[in-house]
Amino acid sequence: MKKNKSSIAYQCKIFDVWEEEFDLPNGKTTRQSWINHNPTVAIIAVNENNELLLIKQYRNAVKKNLLEIPAGSMDGIEETPAVCAQRELAEETGFKAKALIKLFEGYLLPGYCNEYMHFFLALDLVSAPLTPDEDEFIEIMPVSFAEAHKLIEKGEIIDAKTVLGITLADNYIQRMNLCD
């Protein structure tokens, strides 16, 4: 596809909104908006009791508290996904992982956003609290995998990255027989 014109319509800390005109395969020209987003991480943390550490936090975009796995944006190109995962885990749960296993990576919303997320399973957690971001007010909720699946079925976990992360981690753990 040939790009004709592009311009930034809006910029903030973690993403830019672009307006772009480009040629389609049929020769027509179209204009679309898309979001250029910093790469992100999502962490499925499992404690010594084989419980997932879910977090409950208010999400203004949907005007409600959501149950999620810890996640966040990478701080520039110098921060690797694994370093970001450890930082976000410490900020949001107070733990770091002795074992960090990459489960998956890919685009979240490629129809209008280039956000690329790295999913990690965090095991052998040790206390290592970092100060959370000033706009984060988080409640940690340890739940078993069985409880997490029930919360998904009941519609109490409705964040797609969280559902994907729980599924990926559960599948990995079952394959590797890591938990009872």
Spatial CA neighbour of 93 closest among 48, 142, 27, 49: 142
Question: What token pair was written down for 172?
Answer: 């990995």
For residues 122 and 82, is the Cβ–Cβ distance under 8 A?
no
Alpha carbons 98 and 156: distance in angstroms, whole number: 30
Spatial CA neighbour of 113 closest among 4, 31, 16: 16
Alpha carbons 92 and 69: distance in angstroms, whole number: 9
Q: One of 105, 134, 136, 153 is an active-site residue; which one?
A: 134
Alpha carbons 180 and 178: distance in angstroms, whole number: 7
Alpha carbons 145 and 67: distance in angstroms, whole number: 14
Clarify whether 134 is annotated catalytic: yes
Spatial CA neighbour of 89 closest among 111, 118, 66: 118
Alpha carbons 69 and 55: distance in angstroms, whole number: 6
The residues assigned a catalytic role are 134
